[in-house]
Amino acid sequence: MQYNIIESAAIPFRRSLVANRQQRNDFCAVKWEADRMKLKELLNGVGYRVVRGTDDIQVENIAWDSRKVVPGSLFICVKGKKVDRHDFALPAVKAGAVVLVVEHEIGEIPQDVTIISVENTQMAMARIACNFNRNNGHILRYL
């Protein structure tokens, strides 16, 4: 098993993981380029509520940096110490995000975007990473 250490998270990976070395101290600098996966599969083990849309759609990419969003992306609105990425939900949607994972309500988002509400986006991001890597037999510990 190979691990990529980024800030305080150990994320096991077996697929393509793209890290921007210039911004390695910025937690949002890592982007997954996912094979097409059903949203329902990515959210397996995450306590979530579908606010709008459906969890039965295909996701092309997973990102928490709005600059890394491509059409068909799932954008995780991580609430950090310095930056609340909920503020970047609309730019992410304009860049092509079809799913938003949020902790709290956000402003006006187009009706065709699926919104998933979770209690803690950082913990949800860790579980989504684990599901993306199909690594459910290993424990992913978020520090």
Q: Which amino acid is at 42?
A: L
**CA-based angle 84:85:89, to the nearest 5?**
135
> What pLDDT does 8 receive?
36
Report, as an integer, the average pLDDT of 114-131: 92
Rounded Cα distance, 124 and 64, in Å: 12
> Residue 101 corresponds to which tokens in the numbers above?
């994972």
Q: Tokens 């077996």 label which residue?
A: 14
pTM of the model: 0.70
Rounded Cα distance, 75 and 114, in Å: 10
Rounded Cα distance, 117 and 49, in Å: 5
- 17-26, 92-101, 132-141: lowest mean pLDDT where? 17-26
> pLDDT digits over 23-32, tens only?
333 444 344 4
- 34-38, 43-47, 130-134: lowest mean pLDDT where? 34-38
